[in-house]
Structure 1
Amino acid sequence: MRTQTRVYKLQLNEEQKRLFIELCGYRRWAWNHALDIWNDMYEVRRLMADYTEKVKIVKEAAKTHDEVRRVIREIDRNSPGAKANPSPSWQRVRNELNSDKETDAWRLAYPAHLANLAVQDLGNAWKNFFDKAQPNWGKPKYKSRKAPRQGFKSDQSKIEGQILKLECPQGRKDWPLGRIRLNEPVLSDDFSVISYFTEAGNYYAAIPFQVEDIKQPAKTGKATAVDVNVGHFDYTEGRVNVLPKRLDKIYKKIKHYQRQLARKRIQNGKAAYNSKNYLKTRAKLQACYRKAGNIQNDLIQKFTTELVRDYDMIVIENLSVKGMLMSHVASKGVHRSMFGKFKQILTYKCDWYSKELILANKLYPSTQRCAACGNVKKGDDKITLYGNKKHGTKHNEYVCYNKKCPNYNKVVDRDKNAMLSLLALAEHPELNKAL
């Protein structure tokens, strides 16, 4: 069994839209209040009298991770302060949140599981934050009502045909969200927690289905490499443009709307956020972003499907996208080219279709290495975003100065050379290291 998530557009009337927004606000309230409780419990735990002694003992006695856990459990077992103020967990935070009698009255109007799922997601967020194997996870933050995307989750929804039934609050009969029509038939009857969200005035449901094993394509015995660049991806069959010309008009509109919003904020300050013209302009901006994202998502989905269908082994660069976004030279182009999303989609599709995905070492010099002779440029010979000043070459030109190379003193396309250099890792995995 495999999990596939499909996003369906919901067809809601005005009353259903109003209640949908209220449920989004209810989850946001549960998340923010649970985060308050979590921070308070952590602070009390940190300020306990025996906390300093605990840290001292652990540092002196513990040498391995198992010893750290053993020492902390032993101190917790013998410390009355630790028993009275246990460390925060999503179950304890949930119980504390549900024990607030002042909020019981109005919370009865909403499904009970929505708040519990919000607290459980908060616990997972803290777990990922403290997991050293996932260094990119940030500290959980408060949810804002001004965020362009709002949503909630439900694990009690049901599907009958093309009708989605959201969990009804206990004791309520007139529940408008008891019948929601989907824009197309569902993939399967076996599904798990559904994520509902709204963005740019539209309403969606992301439904993860449990489906049978996908039919595997025939083995081709071929390998390819993909060199990702700003605006285009190069592979053995040619080049794919991920920033087509039809996006230019959309990005011009985005630039225009951004300037309008900035001008309104400068002139009116915080009062601009309550202006109807400001909200209309922001809605237009969000619609343009969504249209551009849909176009690029369609291109990347088709390209990755072609790769896993035609090749058994695919080599790509393991780029540090966050580091590249710190550069002012090509940060906007890197963001628009969707490097991270391409890697994410290709990874799960290779897993689905049992294809081998090879990630090049982050320090592997695919751009500086000659694909014909293996010579690596160093020092003043290196190619930069501006080309090479010493030899007067452009940024898209690669010239090998090894006299024994068949491409000696010849100008070749830098991106094609980098792609062929990556392709060499398919036959010679021992080269997948910093040279």
Structure 2
Amino acid sequence: MRSEKTTLIWVVKMLMIRTQKVMLYPNRHMAKALDRLCDYRRYCWNEGLATWNDMYDLYTIDSSSPRPSFYSVRNELVANKADWQYELSARTLQLAIADLGNAWQNFFDKTQPYWGKPVFKSKKSARQGFKTDRAKIVAGKLHLDKPHGVKNWYDIRISRHVDLSGVLKVVSIYRENGKYWASFPFEVNLDDKPQTGDSSAVDVNVGHLDYTAGVINTLPKRLRKLYQRIKFYQKQLAHKRVVNGNKATKGSRYVAMRNKLQRDYRKVANIQHDIMQKFTTDLVNDYDKIVIEDLSVKAMQMSHVASKGLQRSMFGYFRQTLSYKCEWYGKELILADCQYPSTQRCSKCGHIKSGNDKITLQGNTTHRTKHSEYVCYNCGAVLDRDENAVANLLDLI
């Protein structure tokens, strides 16, 4: 009897957290409940921070005293709970103190990008929110855990254009400009993208991104119109503050115009994020290796020459999005050194411009060449500046 050899192929799937931001449509009862939870989150944070500071001061004075931790501060707040706190979700307090503990851990690590001591939350902040790990999606609606003694409790309608598949983790809910939003982190299984064998390079510029297959416009016409309207609202608000002083911010017209300004800023962010998300998805679908420049975006924004254009072009967001998508789908992201002369090097002969021959943001005044033109004085090649930079980045593969 002939034995047949069976080969089992195990498909390894990677568990990743994919977050979706959705808009909430609560009724008047749930809107009041969300407002109370937002205020309760701020109260727990401030009370926990005050308790933490007192414990830490006592620890620095007397080393025999216990060092403050998440557990000690949480137990102190739970033991001193007031009666009104039992009408609200207990998970709000737990997660607020957990985030406070993480903030204190980051305070002792100066390598963090936004290093600093935790500060108290203000009720005047434009964004107020809370977290919960007991939220569920029931029949396409958001279901929060019902506190004790509350009669009017309903599920909350959400945007219908989102994919609600996966295991739901800790949900962040916040209120901004009178509207309610939620961030749904789903744990999903991600398979590696099929290998294409192709490579590409991306040269970032103010207003557009150049890569092997073409150009992506990051400042389309609709964005420019929104920026013009934002500039008008900012001038009007500044004028009201100059004329009326501190009383201006309390006026109804000031608040209405500020809401319009925040609305347009949100539209701008949605358009920019949509452009970057679609472009980075196309890159990881079509290419196995992608080369980008390792730019110091913060240092570049300190310059007054093109700081506004750099901010609007979202260089940092592009790199962040492309990095985690390459990690998700098993693609290789290559970072070119910030000193690599991708713009000054000739992709034909390898000659590197120096001194008065260098190309600047205004081109080359010595040889009277344009900003978008690269002329090699070694081999005589005349190239497009951005296409030449993309070709130089591809040579690093």
Q: C-alpha distance in 2, partners of 1:379/1:188?
A: 57
Does 2:311 align with 1:316? no
SS of structure 2 residue aligned to 1:376: coil
Secondary structure of the 2:215 match is strand
Which residue in the other structure is 1:363 paired with?
A: 339
1:156 paired residue number: 134
Question: Contact conserved, 1:315 with 1:422, CA < 8 A, in 2?
Answer: yes
Q: Could you say which residue in structure 1 is the equivalent of 2:52?
A: 38
What's the CA shift string for 1:189-209, capped at 9, x where partnerless? 521101112233322221111
- Equivalent pair of 1:223/1:311 in contact (CA under 8 Å): yes
Contact 2:200 2:211 in 1 (8 A): yes
Per-residue deviation, 1:175:
4.5
Q: Contact conserved, 1:159 with 1:189, CA < 8 A, in 2?
A: no
- Structure 2 contact 284–331 (Cα < 8 Å) conserved: yes
Distance in 1 between the 2:212 and 2:163 partners?
Answer: 37
- Contact 1:254/1:289 (8 A) holds in 2: yes
2:386 corresponds in structure 1 to: 415
Residue 270 of structure 2 corresponds to residue 294 of structure 1 = yes
Amino acid at match of 1:332: K
Quick check: which one's helix share is greater?
1
| 2:167 is the alignment partner of 1:190 | yes
Shift of 1:305: 1.0
Q: Which residue of 2 aligns with 1:168?
A: 146
Distance 1:32 1:377 in 2: 57
Structural mapping, 1:207-222, within 5 Å: 207-214=184-191, 216-222=192-198
C-alpha distance in 1, partners of 2:352/2:52? 52
Relative to structure 1, the CA distance from residue 282 to residue 306 in structure 2 (aligned partners, 3 Å threshold; closer, same or farther) is same
1:397-412 correspondence to structure 2 within 5 Å: 397-401=373-377, 403=378, 405=379, 408=380, 410-412=381-383
Percent identity (aligned): 53
Shift of residue 132, structure 1, vs aligned partner? 4.7
Tell me if 1:199 matches 2:176: yes
Q: Indicate the SS of the match to 1:358.
A: strand
Q: Which position in structure 2 is the counterpart of 1:69? A: none
The 5 A counterparts of 1:57-76 are none
Match of 1:91 in 2: 71
Provide the rounded CA distance (Å) in 1 between the counterparts of 2:291 and 2:384: 19
Equivalent position to 1:5, from 10, 19, 22? 19
Q: Structure 1 390/140 Cα, relative in aligned 2: closer, same or farther at 3 Å?
A: farther
2:370 counterpart (388, 394, 403): 394
Aligned length: 382
Residues 59-84 of structure 1 show CA distances to partners (whole Å, capped at 9, x for unaligned) of xxxxxxxxxxxxxxxxxxxxxx3232
Partners of 2:72 and 2:243 in 1: CA distance: 47
Partner of 1:65: none
Structure 2, unpaired ranges of 5+: 1-14
For residues 245-303 of structure 1, the C-alpha deviation after alignment (integer angstroms, 9 at most, x for no partner) is: 11121111101111111111122222222111111111101110111111111111111
- Please name the residue that 1:374 is paired with: 350
Gapped regions of structure 1 (runs ≥ 5): 49-80, 427-435
Cα deviation 1:18-37 (Å, max 9, x = unaligned): 22122212212222332333
Question: Secondary structure, in 3 states, of the residue corresponding to 2:87?
Answer: coil
Aligned amino acid, residue 367 of structure 1: T
Distance 2:89 2:220 in 1: 45
| Equivalent-residue separation in structure 1 for 2:38 and 2:317 (angstroms) | 26
Supply the AA of the counterpart residue of 2:151. Answer: D
CA contact (8 A) 2:342 2:392 kept: yes
Measured in 2, the distance between the counterparts of 1:370 and 1:246 equals 36
1:115 to 93, 96, 101: 93
* CA gap 1:147/1:325 in 2 versus in 1, 3 angstroms: farther
- Give TM-score scaled by structure 2 length: 0.89
Q: C-alpha separation between the residues in 2 aligned to 1:275 and 1:212? A: 51
Q: Distance in 1 between matches of 2:212 and 2:107?
A: 39
Q: How far apart in 2 are the matches of 1:248 and 1:96?
A: 53
Whether 2:322 is the aligned partner of 1:346: answer yes
Contact preservation (8 Å) 2:193, 2:330: no
